[in-house]
Each structure stands twice: as structure tokens, then as C-alpha cells.
Structure 1
Amino acid sequence: MQISPGLCIIFNESGYNTKPPMSNKGVKLYGLFRINHQYWCSDGVEPTKNQCKVACQKLTDDDIKDDILCAKKILEMSMSLKAWPVWQRMCYMKDLSSYLQGCPL
């Protein structure tokens, strides 16, 4: 994942906030990328697929390495940024350069 699309997704999903988990129609979403607990992480309560092999709570701490690794796994398995619905609405075919302003790359 390139950095501009990733930052656009993170900004529009979580506002760069790793916590708290969000709930949307019974689905709990965790971390910067608001990762779906049913498929990608284990919340320790409900049986899940846990494709990223990570505890959902780990996605809510300030160590974002596991968030990035899980997002990368989601991207690899889905083959598209469309795995995040916000991509189509807020990022696709938009100028994403503003997400890099002030970033020392």
C-alpha cells in the first residue's frame, strides 16, 4: 500500500486515533484502519476467522506495526483498497497530496 492512500483511509476511518474500538451494525472495528473483528482479529469473546492472527485489543494501542501488518494482509487477500468502503467514497480518484503535507519524506 502506498502511503497517501493508506493515510487517506486511516484519516477517514479513525481520524488517526487507534482507540477506542468502534461498533457499526454489530461489527466491532479496531485500530487505525478500523479492522473488522469478524474476519481479521480476535476479540476474545466471539469466534472469529482471525486472518491476521492478532488480538483486536493489540490494534488499539500506540504500537501501530500490527495495524499496518494486518492492513497489508487485508490488502493482499482482497487485492484491492475497496476492502475499506471509505476508499471509494473519500479517496478514490481524489488528490491525496494533502495527506502528505508536513510529512518529512
Structure 2
Amino acid sequence: HEADGSTNNGIFQISSRKWCKNFTPNVPNQCQMYCSDLLNPNLKDTVICAMKIIQEPQGLSS
């Protein structure tokens, strides 16, 4: 959990600030998934989200 209320989720520690839907309303959801989905042992959705992040200009530093 971060000071701003966001969370880092799953094996890649994907942030709820931009990439997944958490309990905070009105935040971007670029991967179009719930953050809890990133905790699933089936890593397919997590890898798909990570691939979207990599394609961004900031890449994994995002």
C-alpha cells in the first residue's frame, strides 16, 4: 500500500494508480481489470497487462 491509497499488485507489482481498478473511484484502468485479478495464480491476465505497460513510453518504470 502506498501513501496515496494506491496498491501494487501481483508478481509485477502493477500499480492501481493507472493500470487496474481498485476500491478508489475515478482512477484510470488501462488494463481494464480489477487489481485482485492480478493475484490469480493463472498469470495470463497479469502478463497481458504487463505487456500493455511495456508498450507505454515509460515502460516498466511506469
Shorter-chain TM-score tier: 0.7 to 0.9
Corresponding position: 1:52 with 2:31: yes
Greater gyration radius: 1
- Structure in which a larger fraction of residues adopt helix: 1
With over 3 angstroms needed to count, the CA separation of the structure-2 counterparts of 1:76 and 1:24, relative to structure 1, is: same
1:63-82 Cα distance to aligned partner (Å, 9 max, x none): 11111110100110135333
Q: Give the TM-score of the pair, scaled to structure 2.
A: 0.81
Of 15, 24, 29, 2:2 maps to 24
Of 66, 71, 84, 2:45 maps to 66
Q: How many positions carry a matched residue from both structures?
A: 61
Cα displacement (A) at 1:57: 0.6
Specify every segment of 5 or more residues in structure 2 that has no aligned partner in the other structure, as ranges.
none
Cα displacement (A) at 1:38: 1.4
1:44-79 Cα distance to aligned partner (Å, 9 max, x none): 443220000011110011011111110100110135
Give me the identity figure in percent.
28
Specify the SS of the correspondent of 1:77: coil
With over 3 angstroms needed to count, the CA separation of the structure-2 counterparts of 1:45 and 1:25, relative to structure 1, is: closer
Cα contact 1:44–1:55 (8 A) shared by 2: no
Corresponding position: 1:40 with 2:7: no
Q: Give the TM-score of the pair, scaled to structure 1.
A: 0.51
Deviating 4+ runs (over 3 angstroms): none
